[in-house]
Structure 1
Amino acid sequence: MSILIFNRLPYYDVPYDKWLEDLNEPLVILTEQKLAPAFQAKARALSFENYDYNNAVEFVALQMAKKNPFRRIVATAERDILRAARLREHLGIEGQSLESAIAFRDKVKMKTLLKAANVKVPPFAEITSVIDLVRFIEAEGYPVVVKPVDGMGSRNTTILHDDEDTIAYLTEGLTPHLEVEKFIEGEMYHIDGVVLDGVIELCWPSKYLNNCLAFQEGKYLGSYLLEPENPLTPRLQRYVTNVLHILPTPQYTTFHAEVFHTPEDELILCEIACRTGGSRICEEYRQAFDLDLTKLAVQAQCGLAVTVPEQVRSGRGPKTQIGFIGIPPKQGVFLSAPKADELPDWVTEYRLLAEPGQYFDGPHTSVDYTVTLVVTGETEGKVLARLEEVADLFERNTVWQSK
């Protein structure tokens, strides 16, 4: 038998062959074309055009299962959660159920379950026609947010402030599977962690710099871990723990929750996912907790014994304060950016994702970047100041050519 892995992540973040070598089982990795070469040297990796929406991915997986049955099916990215769950159900394979996957992927289902359990969520409604949108706006007023019920990376998310915005939005036509919700004023936090054998082993909050729609204005996205002494730290931990207990949370999973903290001091859930947070959240946790969230979840899902560091088990919090920043592309041709040896030593990871001469037409999601950086500091305030400093450094010293 073998392990099937649906993959949208680069090899440097998910070296499955190393993580699972103790199983001594064949690995089959289905992934997008640009990522495939790094995996093909390590395991059987098949690449697909239009990977996110290509249903031939599932068809090929089912054909392969007839010849060599899969013992486990693993998904580490948002787009693949339902894919994996449907195949598990069809093939009778242990792991996250389809019911659980839908509860975490379908924002209407998610908020319906949580609202019934008295968890504060934004007013929301499913949109099947213009009438649904109009009724919601008449009931709740502007501004409202329209987004896919199963979206990710803030793709195709739109804020409507008035009738003029609504007319412009509707001119393009309503796509299927949409929801509308009331726009919530407040600061956004994300809370990340891991569940092992049904126990929440780590749950730690961070504060966003800007917000997940900042890319629409060409602004960077970043965040930094909260200190244990921050009064919001235990509140956000309790809040997300309650959410995970209400939802049909998998026995082994990472999670990424986004929560508003309003001017009225309320906590309101934006959404929660049963996978590791994007951007460089994985690297933040490696440095802050000596723990790789995705690695633990993948190993545990495949039946390997895993342990968490004593620092995590005792709830002491990060060994140092960490933050990340992702800088989106501009419209034009990327020419150059600062080199690694030109950066301060408190930049602990620097990834340049653009190549000289590469053309960009701007960002399309909240995780479209040309550069990502991770920084460290003694306090939240120091990390925040350094993130802003390095953002300014790249704004002044990255060279673009209009086209």
Structure 2
Amino acid sequence: MAILIFNRLSHSDVPYEQWLKDLDEDLYLFTDKKQETGFTGYTQVHAFENYDTNNAVEFMALELYEQVPYSTVIATAERDILRAAKLREFLGIEGQSWESALAFRDKVKMKTLLSRANIKVPAFAMLETAVDLYKFIKQHGYPVVVKPVDGMGSRNTAILKNREETIEYLSQGLASNLIVEEFIEGEMYHIDGLVLGGKFIHCWPSKYFNDCLAFHDGKYLGSYLLAPQNPLTERLRNEVISILQILPTPANTTFHAEIFHTPQDELITCEIACRTGGSRIIEEYRQAFDVDLTKLSVQAQCGLKTDVSERFLQREGPKTQFGFIGLPPKHGVFQGAPTWQELPHWVTEYNVLAKPGQSFTGAHTSVDYVLTLVVKGNTEQQVVQRIQDIAEFLENKMVWD
């Protein structure tokens, strides 16, 4: 038998061939052309341009099945969740179903299921015509948020604060597959964790720096883990457990939830995804808990026994506090950034993603970065201060034309 893997992540984060070496099965990788470097030791590697929207990916996957009837389909990124589920459904392969994938990818379906179960979500509606938007604004007032039903990375998300912005937005023509929501005043938290064998295993909440739309203003995005004694830690964990029990959650999956905490002390669910959080959440979790969430999920989906420590199973907190940030590109030509040796000892991971001479026109999603880093500290407050300090240092040291 064989395993088909859909991939759009870097090899350093997802060395599938190492994770699955005990299976001794053929591995077929369909990956984004931008991420093909490093993937060696596979039976076949197919790299695609325009991977996210390239429907030849699914067609060639079906052709491959005629030659090699693979038994498992793996997807670790948001864009591949529906793609993999559709193939499983058509081919009769076990794994996350189409119904489950839709519940996590379709924001209207997700919020409908949650609201019916008395989980607080923003007021929302499908947005197909200007009439829908007009009715929603009349009922809920400004501001409102408009975004794709199956969006990710805050791409093509707009906040409309008044009539003038609404007219300008509508003048460009409405895209298809949109949702409109009320704007929630509050601080945003993300909660990341793992389900294995149909059982909730672990999760931990973090608080965002800035917000997921801060890239529009050229601001960095980041987050830091909450301390065990933070009064929101247990509340957020319990809220996510309730959400996972309501939705058709896959038997083996990571998850990434985003929840608002309002000035009125309410928790309002923004959304949840059945995959590991983006940016450096995966590395932050590795360092804080000595666990690779994606690795365990992939191994479980492929039938391997997962090696999970007793400390992790007991849902204990991080061994110390961690946080991460990603700095977005500016409008201009990147010329350089500080070296690892110039950074403080409490920076535990540092990745410069841009190359000298590379041109940018700003950030287009919340995860468009020129560099990322992870920091550690003894307390939440120390991590927050260190992130602020290192962000200011890097802003002053990076060179742009």
Tell me which interval the TM-score lies in, with the shorter structure as reference length: over 0.9
Q: Give deviations 1:21-72, integer Å, cap 9, x for gaps.
A: 0000111111111211321455521011110000000000000000101110
Aligned-partner residue type, residue 376 of structure 2 = T
* Distance (whole Å) between structure 2 residues aligned to residue 92 and residue 181 of structure 1: 36
SS of the residue 1:122 aligns to: coil
Q: Which amino acid aligns with 1:178?
A: L
Q: Distance in 1 between matches of 2:178 and 2:40?
A: 37
Residues 17 and 43, structure 1, Cα contact 8 Å, conserved in 2: no
State the partner residue of 2:319.
Answer: 319
Q: Which residue of 1 aligns with 2:21?
A: 21
TM-superposed CA distance for 1:315, in Å, is 2.2
CA distance in 1, matches of 2:54, 2:133: 30
1:308, 1:289 → 2: CA distance?
Answer: 11
Deviation per CA, 1:320-350: give whole Å up to 9, x if none. Answer: 1010000000011000101000000100000
Q: What residue number does 1:270 align with?
A: 270
- TM-score w.r.t. length of structure 1: 0.99
SS at match of 2:137: helix
User: What's the counterpart of residue 235 of structure 1?
Assistant: 235
Q: Distance in 1 between matches of 2:14 and 2:42?
A: 12
Q: How does 1:41-60 map to 2 (within 5 A)?
A: 42-60=42-60
Is the 2:144–2:160 contact (alpha carbons within 8 Å) kept by the matching residues of 1? yes
CA offsets per residue over residues 68-94 of structure 1, 9 Å max, x none?
Answer: 011100000000000000000000000
1:109 Cα deviation (Å)?
0.2
Q: Give the aligned CA root-mean-square deviation in angstroms.
A: 0.7
1:2 paired with 2:2, answer yes
**In the alignment, what sits opposite 1:203?**
203
- Kindly provide the amino acid, as one letter, of the partner of residue 377 in structure 1: G
Instruction: Look up the match of 2:108.
Output: 108
The CA distance in 1 between the partners of 2:241 and 2:207, in whole Å, is 18
Partner of 1:149: 149
Name the stretch that deviates more: 35-44 or 379-388: 35-44
Aligned partner of residue 147 in structure 2, secondary structure:
strand
The aligned counterpart of 1:280 is 280
Identity %, equivalent residues: 64
**Aligned pairs (5 A) from 1:343-354:** 343-354=343-354
Corresponding position of 1:294: 294
- Residue deviations 1:103-129 (CA, integer Å, cap 9, x gap): 000000000000000100000000111
User: For residues 159-216 of structure 1, what are the alpha-carbon distances to aligned partners after superposition, in whole Å with 9 as ceiling and x for unaligned?
Assistant: 0000110111111111110000000000000000000001111110000000000001
**Matched residue of 2:113: which SS?**
helix
Number of the residue aligned with 1:261: 261
- Distance between the aligned counterparts of 2:36 and 2:325, measured in 1? 26
Q: What residue identity is the alignment partner of 2:103? A: A
Unaligned runs of 5+ in 1: none
CA distance in 1, matches of 2:144, 2:309: 43
SS in 2 for 1:38: coil
Question: Which whole-Å CA distance do the structure 2 matches of 1:179 and 1:120 have between them?
Answer: 17
Cα distance per residue 1:234-279 (max 9 Å; x no partner): 0000001000000000000000000000000000000000000000
- Give the aligned partner of residue 94 of structure 1: 94
Deviations 1:354-391 (A, max 9, x none): 00000011101000000000000000000000010110
Aligned to 2:193: 193
In structure 1, C-alpha distance between the alignment counterparts of 2:27 and 2:133, rounded to whole Å: 46
Stretches of 4+ moved more than 6 A in 1? none
Which SS does the other structure have where 1:93 is aligned? coil
Question: What SS class does the counterpart of residue 119 from structure 1 fall into?
Answer: coil
| Partner AA of 2:218 in structure 1 | G
Tell me the equivalent position of 1:171. Answer: 171
* Residue 366 of structure 2: aligned partner: 366
Distance 1:133 1:42 in 2: 49
Cα offsets for 1:271-295 (capped at 9, x unmatched)? 0000000000000110000000000
Amino acid at match of 2:231: P
SS of 2:94's partner is: coil
Residue in 1 aligned with 2:341?
341
Q: What secondary structure is seen at the aligned counterpart in 1 of 2:38? A: helix
Q: For residue 70 of structure 1, give the secondary structure of its aligned residue in structure 2.
A: coil
**In structure 2, what is the Cα distance between the partners aligned to 1:315 and 1:111?**
27
Give 1:313 deviation, angstroms: 1.3
Q: Distance in 2 between matches of 1:26 and 1:42?
A: 7
Q: How many residues align?
A: 401
Q: Deviations over 1:212-244 (max 9, x none)?
A: 000011100000000000000000000010000
In the TM superposition, 1:296-311 aligns within 5 A as: 296-311=296-311
1:128 corresponds to: 128
- Aligned partners of 2:239 and 2:283: how far apart in 1? 24
Q: Distance in 2 between matches of 1:271 and 1:314?
A: 26
